[in-house]
A and B are shown apart, each in its own frame.
Chain A
Amino acid sequence: MPSVKNWQLGRDMSYPYEARYPSRQFAFVFNINRCIACQSCTMACKSTWTFSKGQEHMWWANVETKPYGGYPRFWDVKILEQLDQASPDGQTWSGAPADARDRPYGQYDGQTIFEAAHRTLSPDSARVLGYLPTDEEWNSPNIYEDNPVGPRGVRNRLSETGESLPVHNTWFFYLARICNHCSYPACLAACPRQAIYKRPEDGIVLLDQEQCRGYRKCVEACPYKKTMYRGNTRTSEKCIACYPRVEGKDPESGGDPMETRCMAACIGQIRMQGLVKIDADGAWAEDRWNPLYYLVHVAKVALPLYPQLGTQPNGYYIPPRWVPRPYLRQMFGPGVDLALERSGAPDRELRAVLQLFRRSNKIIFRYEVKEGPKVYDGTLHGKPVVLYDDTVIAYGKDGKELFRTTVEEPIYVRPAIHANSI
């Protein structure tokens, strides 16, 4: 099996195909600290792409309540358990997070889903460790998560208040998910028809409906379970990253690349999506003033989802700061501690970049910070906070300014009745 470089793992790994990289890669950062599971992203995607017959169970974008929920049910628990069984030495990392672009989280010493398959699966043609979820696991995207049941015996009606749900003294958070458009897609690796391909211009992973024969090898292989089988067409389907928008063909875009529907609909403004430059070796090319590059490689506050699986996913998450660290380390790798330290007390530049989230639906290719005066110096929840009236300017693909955002102190004019009340 060919060897490819996986920078998230800090080492080379086996993959069924030789490495080939796009010039730019579709990538996104979600700030989970803001997500309230309003499901606007879910419905934006559903109403755009998967509203037809046979797509009832398809939720290309979904938000699940972790650690209890998942769609399909238990998807991450199941693949992690399989990986543990195939890799008795465990999913361990060595070294320490560092500044190197090709090894930012140390080195993963366990097995990936490709390596574990090579060792444990038969026949020899089996390429990826995975499993096919059952129909029961697919049919209820939010079962026992947030949705209260309706009154007993009354159909098609939900509780109007939801207070009847018991309150558990527990911890949880919301994990918004779409296809990660991985650099080493497991779905692509597993497809016997070579119906799945990665676009050289933007790294978006697409599934050719003409070529697909519905073998469901992709459904079995994708560890994130983001390819889905459609019974009435007997083909599989997956998130297409709203590629007409990313290409700038949406009428609203005026020719500029736009972010996907799920990003644009986000009420909590947790999402930023872009197209990052890729080096010849598959690592992110240095692009200091790209906001995604900054969040992932400079500030290091955004981390990949389950990097140990080995697909080099291109979705990154700013981890929730109230969740127990061991759980976060398993989910986001060894970069969690540094990410929480920095995102919990953002420095001046990070605070400025976080202001870029959802200020525009167009893709930001570069940003610039013009420093302004200090406007606040104090504490928040016992930690020091300093705020500046900095101007953050976002630029689009052609280098033209998209928008600029500033912080301003509101001016209150005392009403006449209180003009001399001091």
Chain B
Amino acid sequence: MPYDDPEPDDPHVLVGVSLPGDASATREMAEAFSDEFAQMGFDGDRILRLFRTPFYAGAHAALQLLGEAEVARIVDESLRVFGRQRFRVRAAGSVGRRGSCPR
């Protein structure tokens, strides 16, 4: 973790450049996360929390770039399709449970 300005020959200094993205790539990423987690049984609040958490940098970057309203619209769209169902997992020889957590 750097605490001071790096030396000019510091091998840890980032030498790459960012590859330009566009709104469509960001939107498609947001849609992918939203669709996938909706299919896992997340509700709207949980999916939006994922986008709001800064440590999930991919989802959070989408939120910052697209805006909360657009991400909320994307999540709503996913939930309109996948939020209508609940997946029921029944382990052999046990009582079934709803949701998707495998524990």
Q: Bits for A404-422, please: 1 = Cβ < 8 Å to B, else 0.
A: 1111111000000000000
A381–B87 contact, CB under 8 A?
A: no
Contact with B along A370-396 (1 / 0, CB 8 A): 000001101011000101010000000
Task: Say whether chain A's binding surface is mostly helix, strand, loop, or mixed.
Answer: loop
Inter-chain contact A320/B32, CB cutoff 8 Å: yes
Chain A interface size, as a band, is 35 or more
Q: When A and B form their complex, which 7 residue pairs have the shortest distance between CB atoms, in order from nearest?
A: A162-B54, A322-B28, A171-B21, A170-B18, A401-B92, A34-B36, A170-B21
Residues of the A chain whose Cβ atoms lie less than 8 Å from the Cβ of B57: 37, 65, 145-146, 162, 165
Q: Using an 8 Å CB-CB cutoff, how does the interface string of B13-49 with A read, 1 for contact, 0 for none? A: 0101011111001101101110111011000000000
Q: Which residues of B does A touch, CB under 8 Å?
A: 1-3, 11-12, 14, 16, 18-22, 25-26, 28-29, 31-33, 35-37, 39-40, 50, 54-61, 64-65, 77-78, 80-82, 84-92, 100, 102
A144-B12, A173-B29 known; 20 other A-B pairs, CB under 8 Å? A34-B33, A36-B33, A37-B58, A68-B16, A136-B12, A162-B54, A171-B21, A171-B29, A268-B36, A321-B28, A322-B29, A322-B32, A355-B87, A358-B102, A380-B35, A404-B90, A404-B92, A406-B87, A407-B86, A410-B85
A163 B54 Cβ-Cβ under 8 A: yes
Within 8 Å of chain B (Cβ to Cβ): is A206? no
A212, CB-defined interface residue at 8 Å: no
- Chain B proximity of A163: nearest CB distance (Å): 6
Q: Is B31's CB under 8 angstroms from A167's CB?
A: no
Q: How far is the CA of A67 from the CA of B31 in the complex (A)?
A: 20
Q: With CB as the reference atom, state the residue of chain B lying closest to A394.
A: B92
Bound complex: CA A36 to CA B56 (Å): 6
**A112-170 interface with B by 8 A CB criterion:** 134, 136, 140, 143-146, 148-150, 152-153, 155, 161-163, 165, 167-170
